[in-house]
Amino acid sequence: MAEKSERDEATGRDTTGHEWDGIKELDTPLPRWWLYIFYATIAAAVIYWVLMPAWPLPNGFTPGVLGFSDRRNVAHEIETLRFARGPMFERLEQASAGDLARDPELQEFARASGESVFGDYCRTCHGAGGAGAPGYPVLADDVWIWGGSMSEIELTLRVGVRTDHPETRLSMMPAFGRDGLLSRDQVGDVSEYVISISAGRTRLAPDPAAAARGAIVYAEQCAICHGAAGAGDRSIGAPSLQDDLWLYGGSREEIRLQVESGRAGVMPSWEGRFDAATLRALAYYVHELGGGEPEPPSAPAPALADAPQAAPASVEAP
Amino acid sequence: MDAPVTLIPRPRADEHSIDARAVNSRSARALYAKREPIYPKLVHGQFRALKWAAMAVLLAIYYLTPWLRFDRGVGRPDQAVLIDFGHGRFYFFFIELWPHEVYYITGLLILAALGIFLAAALLGRVWCGYACPQTVWTDLYIYVERLIEGDRNARMRLDAAPMSAGKLGRKTAKHAIWVFIAAATGGAWVFYFGDAPTLMRDIFTGQAGTSVYLSIAILTFTTYALAGTMREQVCTYMCPWPRIQAAMTDRDALSVTYRADRGEPRGAHKKGASWVGRGDCIDCNQCVAACPQGIDIRDGDQLECINCALCIDACDDIMARVGRPRGLIAYDTHINVERRARGEAVRVRPVRPRTILYAVLMIAVAAIMAQQLLNRATIDLNVIRDRSPPFVRLSDGSIRNDYTLKLMNLAPVGRRMAIEVGGLDGARLVAQDHPQDDRGRLLAEARPDSVANVRVHVVAPARDGSQRLWFRIVDLDNGERAESASAFLGEASP
């Protein structure tokens, strides 16, 4: 590094005297406006300190004279959104199943808000998109324990399963093996029979002799809820045994374990936690995952909003 | 602060003394260079006239374009050129582009780049001299300055004079007009992004949004600062083009050239004296006085020169007066300067491999863009496959996959479309909210100029692994169609 500055012939300007691999640096002064911009940025920083929240203090910070607050802005935006969405939620709450079927705008709204609430509250157990998990029903398929119409889904959401809600969905599968209702062999036999009901749809091949013995046990102990043919009964929450979709797993061991111990899960009651419109949106989202069923023709009132009033109507129909 | 602080010891008269100088000491150099004011003198001539014309045309295009109307039918914007960020649309007369067609801008940028390369190869820095907004607005600002403060000598006198009521009045008037032009420049800019008449009314009644006022404020400031106070410093300090230009030009490109072979040796000339044994340059400095960049063209090609050719007009005027031929300063090429020096005939070669290449590329890009634009589909389909769950097993043993279809209707009319699926044996379409025709196709409607979301389910017999399938939408009225492929996942049952 040379220490000596020299005059550059081409520009007539001195070099700084520094040299790197033969490259010398001209001692060109910065333009004055550059300096002014530098001063302006310093001034802008000082103005910013005055106007905006800036300096941390032992118990807080300097708030700035403009009173800017990100937290308050977010709260304000949420409030604005809630206000803007208000009319749509109202429409959703008032809508009958027919209204919803005819109104693409309302469908889109219900789907979007349902998806958002599902993601926050339901996904933990039922999986993203209603994919389900062992013990937690798949919501995207066409198999329903308590019914897959909009009104049935909404009712399940409202009252929950095995909750302390007065109208809760409630079913109880006895622990046949653990409680000594059936012998160990009988549990094995009835499991083989259950496998034989869905034979052709499962990968499992039932043991014909055991299944034949199990058929007798099934008729005595299981048919009362699951039906003679194993079709199940949604009114009491008894799953169909005819398909190859299993809440607690479809292997031979898992089926036997369920007969043995009769596991039963819990779904919270969401009434009181969500308003009626949110429940409607959630029900619509779950219904539209793919397995939603049309309203049963025997449904007492087409208006979904009147679901709580359904009870007297059913009393009148003997 | 009077005594300079010196960290390096001063040389002493002994054997340890070295020749060192405190190059960064306060006395040695000024850290910051003050701008030397430039007072360009008004010239008259063909290039000045050309520049006035270019300025008028370019400013007119800039200020008037947003006010052009173009009828697109009821309920659609009637502004000929409109960038509608709110609705994600770009309108240019009969062309309407959606956000996913932003690649047209790539084509435009390629055309712009090739265009400036071609211009550089043919005419040197013609962009800098005539068309660059910095040049156009600076020219306009200097025009205003001249109108109020007078020409070069008057301006120099005014600046040197002590402050007086008259000086204050002139300076105030000049800056006021500058600010007005700057505000009009920023104001015109926002009209490209909204309906100009509506926005104009909103701006003056205080109804326009914060971003509008902020945009106007920023552009007012930059216009005033860059054209009023920064001027040639933008070219010399900030702009990358003078640096790039050095690589883009060649020895055949025209550039404003002082013909040293004819001008030297220069010197003052008395009327009637002989021209024998001397150059044509009478060293009158008129070219320097006319230069808005504050340089001397006789120093040769330089980064600061924007090739505005005002020095040509200034010199031609002088040559006519002293009775010498025009063109001592002229558009010329390096090659011709050398050829004349060798006594050879001048040669202009606008058609060279380089210019042919640029021109061919430009035509190719323009042709591709035009072809794309003319055959632009007004229907398009995007398929988004639900990933969670990847597939659903149904009670009858079949498999269901779910998809969200985006039916894009780029036409200004509502359309009825049929959705069909294919490529997968036994596949059928199901959608809860859409009717189906007797061929199993789903029927959907797409509103004018919008995207319709349709969630569909495809049910097929169980199979292991991933299968290909395609979706097709068909306009039921005119048969226009679009296809998109996707995958179907599954797992076999026995």
Q: Which of A5, A107, A140 sits opposite B21 (nearest CB)?
A: A5
- How far is B12 from B356, CA to CA, in rounded Å? 67
Backbone angles phi, psi at A177, to 5 degrees: -80, -50
Please, where are the H alpha helices in B124-234?
126, 133-149, 152-160, 165-191, 196-205, 210-223, 232-233
| pLDDT value at residue A303 | 45
CB A137 within 8 A of CB A126: yes
Give A80's contacts (C-beta < 8 A, 6+ positions apart). Answer: none
Question: 3-state DSSP call for residue B254?
Answer: coil
For residue B15, the model assigns a pLDDT of 63
Q: pLDDT tens, B199-217?
A: 999 999 988 889 999 999 9
Residue of A nearest to B446 (CA): A104
User: Given the structure tokens 């100009």, which residue do they identify?
Assistant: B196
CB contact under 8 A, B433 and A27: no
- A201:B35 CB<8 A: no
Mean pLDDT confidence for B215-244? 92
Whole-model pTM over 0.80: no
pLDDT tens per residue, range B426-454: 898 988 777 888 888 889 888 888 888 88
Write down the pLDDT at residue B23: 53
Closest C-alpha to B490, from B395, B401, B385, B383:
B401
For residues B383 and B387, what is the distance between their CA atoms, to the nearest angstrom?
12
Looking at residue A292, what is its pLDDT? 87
Q: What pLDDT, on a 0 to 100 scale, did the predictor assign at position B27?
A: 58
Tell me, what's the pLDDT at A22? 84
A239 membership: H or E segment, kind and range: none
- Does A143 score more than 60 pLDDT? yes
Cβ proximity of B453 and B405 under 8 Å: yes
For chain A, where are the E strands, in sequence order? 15-20, 23-26, 30-31, 56-57, 60-61
Higher pLDDT, A308 or A262: A262
Set of chain A residues whose Cβ sits within 8 Å of the Cβ of B230: 33
Bridge partner residues of B33 (DSSP): A31
* Chain B contact set for A141 (CB, 8 A): 392-395, 400
Rounded Cα–Cα distance for residues B257 and B302 (Å): 11
8 Å CB contact of A244 and B493: yes
- State the Cα–Cα distance between residues B10 and B360, nearest whole angstrom: 65
How would residue A311 be classed by pLDDT, with cut points 50, 70 and 90? very low
Q: Which two tokens stand for residue B28?
A: 């040695």
Nearest-angstrom CA–CA distance, B58 and B231: 18
Please count the CA atoms within 13 angstroms of the CA of A32 that sit on its side-chain side. 8
**Closest Cα in chain A, distance from residue B24 (Å):** 8
**Are A29 and B29 an interchain contact pair (Cβ–Cβ within 8 Å)?**
yes
Q: What is the mean pLDDT of residues B71-99?
A: 88
Closest residue by Cα to residue A207 from A223, A215, A196, A218: A196
Give the confidence band of B16 by pLDDT, cuts at 50, 70, 90. low
Would the CB atoms of B393 and A244 count as touching at under 8 Å?
yes
- Domain A73-166+267-304 identical in fold to domain A184-261: yes
Q: Which of B394, B396, B491 to mutate to test the interface with A (most CBs of A within 10 A)?
A: B394
> Helix H segments across A198-300?
208-221, 223-226, 252-261, 276-287
Looking at residues B298-315, what average pLDDT do you find? Answer: 90
Q: What is the pLDDT of residue A312?
A: 34
Which CATH number does A73-166+267-304 carry? 1.10.760.10
Residues 6+ apart with CB under 8 A from B376: B101, B410
As to burial, measured by CB atoms within 10 angstroms (0-12 exposed, 13-18 middle, 19+ buried), residue B184 is: middle
Domain extent listing, chain A: 15-61, 73-166+267-304, 184-261
How far from each other are the two terminal CA atoms of chain B, in whole angstroms?
Answer: 96
Question: Are B245 and B119 a contacting pair, CB within 8 Å?
Answer: no
- Is B243 exposed, middle or buried, given 0-12, 13-18 or 19+ CB atoms closer than 10 A? exposed
Q: Which residues pair with B91 in a beta bridge?
A: B82, B96
Name the residue among B19, B30, B392 with its Cβ closest to that of A29: B30
Q: Distance (Å, rounded) from C-alpha B319 to C-alpha B328? A: 8
- Quick one: pLDDT band at residue A309, thresholds 50, 70, 90? very low
Longest dimension (CA), chain B: 114
**Cα–Cα distance list, B187 to A33, B54, B191 (Å):** 26, 22, 7
Categorize the per-residue pLDDT at B24 as very low, low, confident or very high, splitting at 50, 70 and 90: low
Task: Tell me how far apart the terminal alpha carbons of chain A are, to the nearest angstrom.
Answer: 107
Token pair of B417, please?
A: 């479309």
Nearest CA among A104, A154, A152 for reference residue A280:
A154
CATH fit for domain A184-261, picks 1.20.120.1200, 3.40.50.300, 1.10.760.10, 2.30.30.40? 1.10.760.10
For chain B, percent of residues with pLDDT exceeding 70: 93
pLDDT band at B154 (very low <50, low <70, confident <90, very high): very high
Instruction: Please report the pLDDT score of residue A302 as a whole number.
Output: 43
- CA-closest candidate to residue B51, choices B114, B122, B151, B143: B143
pLDDT digits over A84-135, tens only?
A: 999 999 999 888 777 887 888 898 899 999 999 999 999 999 999 999 999 9
Instruction: Find tokens 């009988």 and name the residue.
Output: A186
Task: Give the residue carrying structure tokens 């020299």.
Answer: A6
Residue in B233, B235, B393, B407 to test binding to A, most A beta-carbons within 10 Å: B393
Query: Which percentage of chain A shows pLDDT scores above 70?
Result: 92
Domains by residue range for chain B, with CATH: 38-376 (no CATH), 379-490 (2.60.40.10)
What percentage of chain B exceeds 90 in pLDDT?
A: 53
Provide mean pLDDT across the span A63-86. 92
Q: Do B433 and A32 touch (CB under 8 A)?
A: no
Q: Identify the pLDDT of residue B46.
A: 94
Tell me the H-state helices in B206-309. 210-223, 232-233, 241-248, 260-263, 286-290
Contact between A33 and B35 under an 8 Å Cβ cutoff? The reply is yes
CB atoms B395 and A245 under 8 Å: yes
pLDDT tens-digit series, residues A146-167: 999 999 999 999 999 999 999 9
Asked if A101 lies within 8 A of B433 by C-beta distance, the reply is yes
Rounded to two decimals, the ipTM of the complex is: 0.75
Comparing alpha-carbon positions, the chain A residue that sits nearest to B236 is A31
Hey, which residues 454-493 in chain B have their CB within 8 Å of chain A? Answer: 455, 457, 493
* Residue B361: pLDDT over 60: yes
Average pLDDT over residues A13-27: 83
Confidence of residue A12 (pLDDT cuts 50, 70, 90): confident
- How many angstroms separate the CA atoms of A271 and A168, rounded? 11
Q: Is B389 part of the contact surface with chain A (CB cutoff 8 Å)?
A: yes
Q: CB of B30 within 8 Å of any CB in chain A?
A: yes
| Measured distance CA(B133)–CA(B241) in Å, rounded | 13
